[in-house]
């Protein structure tokens, strides 16, 4: 089950964290993985790990917020490998602050990456998928797509948009056999989280890490691999009857 052999999968933001975990799991399950990341070195590292483990992978530097960059990257990839079966829109950025403490440039930055990036990559992928008879788009949303979280104004705005884009694509292309779903995680323990804590809470790292963990009723943050295995299911043929859905992966947060 959950075999991706013969499928080509593009994973944005695949150079680290959740994107790296998804890329790695997809590679182990037989996909030809194309790792896209604004950090070319990180993308190459992920692709190399997959290849060393016996999988098929390649990498490319791509700024998902740059329309020309996206168009060129997707055109090159599809031109070389001939198809695109799975797109995981994982690339994203964050900012801490309420509406009064969110500068316009930060608001615009989050919109460009988290919203426009999903739009541009999906816009590049959909015609290819329609032409070949189907495909899967998986977007990375968040539990803040459903609920309010303090000091995440701009981030929440973008993830709400990701949720509604997911449903719109699913409705518009269901007859063309293009499925679109999203995953809505609570806090996931990634290197980004550790770096964020070090930068914003110097000297309080362990205290803040504990607070972030206890936010989930299970008492811990999720792991990138836990997200990756849900992504594997949603992008596999076993989920062929699933589209337009948002899957919480939240350690019980939404049950509170």
Same domain, 128 and 204: no
Inside any domain, residue 158: yes
- Residues 3-25 as b/e (b if ≥16 CB within 10 A, e otherwise) read ebeebbbbbbbbbbbbbbbbbbb
Q: Which residue numbers are catalytic?
A: 155
Predicted pLDDT of residue 120: 98
On whether both 154 and 76 belong to a single domain, the answer is: yes
Q: What is the reported pLDDT for 150?
A: 94
Q: What is the CA radius of gyration of the chain?
A: 17
Quote the strand ranges of 62-201, DSSP E: 86-89, 135-140, 178-185
Residue 89 within any structural domain of the chain = yes
One domain for residues 25 and 136: yes
SS3 for 80-99, per residue?
HHCCCCEEEECCCCCCCECH
Q: Do 151 and 207 reside in the same domain of the chain?
A: no
Range(s) of the domain holding residue 194: 189-221
**Residue ranges of the chain whose pLDDT lies below 50:** none
In a domain, 141, yes or no: yes
Query: What's the predicted TM-score (pTM) here?
Result: 0.97
147 DSSP assignment: S
Q: For position 196, what pLDDT does the model report?
A: 84
**14 and 106 inside one domain:** yes
User: Integer distance in angstroms from the first to the last C-alpha of the chain?
Assistant: 34
User: In the chain, how many H helices and how many E strands?
Assistant: 9, 7
124 and 17: one domain?
Answer: yes
Residue 255 maps to a domain: no
CATH number for 47: 3.40.50.720
Residues 168 and 207 in one domain: no
Residues 71 and 126 grouped into a single domain:
yes
Note the pLDDT of residue 256: 86
121 shares a domain with 212? no
Find where tokens 């999988």 sit: 55
Q: Is residue 253 part of a domain?
A: no
């Amino acid at each position: 089950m959950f075999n991706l052999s013969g499928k080509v999968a593009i994973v944005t933001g695949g150079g680290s964290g959740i994107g790296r975990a998804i890329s790695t799991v997809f590679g182990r399950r037989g996909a030809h993985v194309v790792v896209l990341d604004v950090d070319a070195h990180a993308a190459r590292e992920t692709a190399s790990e997959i290849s060393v483990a016996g999988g098929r992978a390649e990498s490319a530097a791509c700024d998902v917020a740059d329309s020309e960059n996206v168009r060129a990257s997707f055109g090159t990839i599809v031109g070389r490998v001939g198809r695109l079966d799975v797109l995981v829109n994982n690339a994203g950025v964050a900012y801490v602050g309420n509406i009064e403490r969110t500068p316009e440039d930060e608001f615009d930055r989050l919109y460009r990456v988290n919203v426009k990036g999903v739009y541009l990559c999906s816009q590049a992928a959909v015609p290819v998928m329609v032409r070949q008879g189907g495909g899967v788009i998986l977007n990375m949303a968040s539990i803040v797509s459903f609920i309010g979280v303090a000091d995440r104004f701009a981030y929440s705005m973008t993830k709400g948009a990701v949720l509604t884009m997911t449903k719109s694509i699913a409705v518009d292309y269901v007859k063309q056999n293009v499925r679109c779903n999203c995953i809505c995680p609570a806090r996931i323990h990634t290197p980004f989280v550790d770096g964020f804590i070090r930068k914003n809470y110097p000297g309080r790292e362990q205290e803040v890490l504990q607070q972030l963990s206890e936010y989930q009723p299970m008492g811990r943050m999720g792991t990138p691999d836990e997200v990756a295995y849900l992504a594997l299911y949603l992008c596999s043929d076993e989920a062929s009857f699933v589209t337009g859905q948002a899957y919480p992966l939240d350690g019980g947060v939404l049950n509170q």
